[in-house]
Structure 1
Amino acid sequence: MYADRYARSGGIQPGSLAIALGLNAAVVAALVLSSPAVQEKLRDPVLTTRNIPIEDPPPPIPQPKPQPHQKAILQQRQPIETVDRIVKTDAGDGPILPPTPPFDPGPPSGLDGVGTGPGPITPPLPALIAASVDPRFAADFQPDYPAAERRLEREGVVKIRVLIGVDGRVKAAQQIAATSDAFWRAAERQALSRWRFKPATRGGVAEESWRTMSLTFVLRD
Structure 2
Amino acid sequence: MTLFPLISAIVAAPEAITAPEGGAGLRRDSYDPGAAHRPLAATLAVGLPVALVVAVALSPMIVKPKPVLSPLIGTLIKIEKPVDPPPDKQPETSPTPKSHSVREAVKPLVDLGPRTDLGAEVKPFVPDPIPYDPGPPARPADPPAPPPLVLAKLDPRYAAGFQPDYPASEQRREVEGAVRVRVLIGTDGRVKAVELVSTDSPGFFEETKRRALAKWRFKPATRGGVPEESWQVMTVRFEIKGA
TM-score (norm 1): 0.47
TM-score (norm 2): 0.43
Compare the two structures and name the one with the higher helix fraction: 2
Of structures 1 and 2, the larger Rg is shown by: 2
Compare the two structures and name the one with the higher strand fraction: 1
